[in-house]
Amino acid sequence: MDLFSNLAMGFAIALSPYTLMLAIIGCFLGTIIGALPGLGPSNGVAILIPVTFTLGLDATSALVLMTSVYYGAMYGGRISSILLNIPGDEPALMTTLDGYPMAKAGRAGDALVLSGVASFVGALLATIGLMLLAPMLARVAYVFGPSEYFALYLLAFCTLGGMASNNQAKAAIASCIGLGISTVGISSGSVMPRFTGGNLHIYDGIDFLVAIVGLFAIAEIFFFIEDHGKNSPVGVDLEKTTVPWKDIWETKWTMLRSSGVGFVAGILPGAGASLGSFLAYMTEKAIAGKDGGFGTGVAKGIAAPEAGNNAAAGGALVPMLTLGVPGSGTTAVLLALLMTLNITPGPTLFTDQPEVVWGLIASLLIANIVLLLMNVPMVKIFVKILMVPPAILLPGVTMVSFVGIYSLSGSYFDLLLMIGFGVLGYVLRKLDIPTVPVILGILLGGNMEDALRRAMTLSDGEWTYLFSSNISIGLWVAAIVGFVAPMFLRNVLRKPQRVTD
């Protein structure tokens, strides 16, 4: 009964005209961001976070808007994958394998509608899973002590770092950079300034929103400038779209299986939607066998990754809300939003601020329906937007980033710091060092340090305390597996990929 009463409370919040309007706007913007090659959900949410503060949105409204952008971007990523053979984001990479061949065969409209339905099924089932599983996991999290939390943070770094780069050493370097930046400012343990250089602006530490916008949005602007718009997509052509009922019916079990696989992948701290998409595709390919025709434009090859990556996106919200550990790169950005709004993710979130959690869950359900209704009849509009030249897009992104960050603190120093992080993000990407672990380090570094300090205090400096429970041992084992396993997965895939979500 608690579930239904909580859900009723969530719908009472989500169905207000104002919140509903934010969900629709977020879905529309998210789909556009997802459709534009290169931006992706992490960049999109990072760019738009300052807007929520500029508009003065409360916590629930800001979360509804940003998660709608997140879900919308996951939907939109498939459009350029199918029509241009260019993934809008990396979780949509697997969709190109069968989506583009189907489009080349003259069935682009069928592929887009089928992928939209698969995205709907995956996201819907994941939201239901979030609704059922998150409260249970939140209760389990009450037994976590400092050693378990330290191991959990380590697991997040290992899994996200392991999947975020083609080179484990580079992922580890990125994590260390983030952890190092998190130590800047006054230490919570000794109350002494660390690595501030006497600069009063950073005595409170580095604002993670400044770092996120710099590393994602400003670095992206530098790449736009470098490319001189050469990567502007052109030549999109889409004929009349119809609903391929036969394909949808034949792929119903594929959608259900892939949603389950994707949701489980999303729950793993740091694993993200790319892993969900990959595992769902490979599972269906193994079931179909050599006669399945995967890679030639089959319907199951489109339904599986789309259901998988959208289910993983919903699953990634579970560890973020219940444990305060992001399940993907985009949820790392959303975690920063929560912390800026003075919302502390974790087991107490469900009891202390139920209106935030259940309003968010209800909004996700509504946003998913909005996205399905939006993506089938309006797909031609989104295809037109694919042709927006960078010369128009670039000034808009720049303006939103600068105005948004300045509106947060009114500090010119933060603008300089943001540009500095943009340069850092540009250099790191040039060196093929992933930026998501840097963000994760900045976000979780302080909590990880506190967990380690409390563990050492409780054990009187005995480091074996970090392995003192079955839960912590299990998390350490999972962390090692999560860091090593991607090396073998890449060999199976035979096409190394970086993961940003």
Q: Which residue has the tokens 């189907």?
A: 102
What is the amino acid identity at position 193?
P
Q: pLDDT tier at 50 (50, 70, 90 boundaries)?
A: confident
Pairing label, strands 185-186, 193-194:
antiparallel
Q: Between these two residues, 339 and 241, which has the higher pLDDT value?
A: 339
Query: Is residue 72 within 8 Å of residue 28, measured between CB atoms?
Result: yes
The pair of structure tokens assigned to 486 is 């991607």
* Mean pLDDT for the stretch of residues 474-495: 73
Question: Cα–Cα distance between 315 and 311 in angstroms, integer?
Answer: 6
Of the candidates 135, 137, 98, 131, the residue with the CA atom closest to the CA atom of residue 114: 98
Domain boundaries, the chain: 3-227+243-489
The torsion angles phi and psi of 48, rounded to 5 degrees, stand at -90, -15
Mean pLDDT is highest, among 114-118, 167-171, 335-339, for 114-118
Tens-digit pLDDT profile for residues 190-230: 778 888 888 888 888 888 778 878 887 788 788 877 776 55
pTM greater than the 0.85 cutoff: no
pLDDT score recorded for residue 496: 44
Query: Is residue 36 within 8 Å of residue 236, measured between CB atoms?
Result: no
- Burial class of residue 4, CB neighbours in 10 A (0-12, 13-18, 19+): exposed
SS3 70: helix
SS3 348: coil
Question: Cα–Cα distance between 459 and 34 in angstroms, integer?
Answer: 48
pLDDT score recorded for residue 163: 61
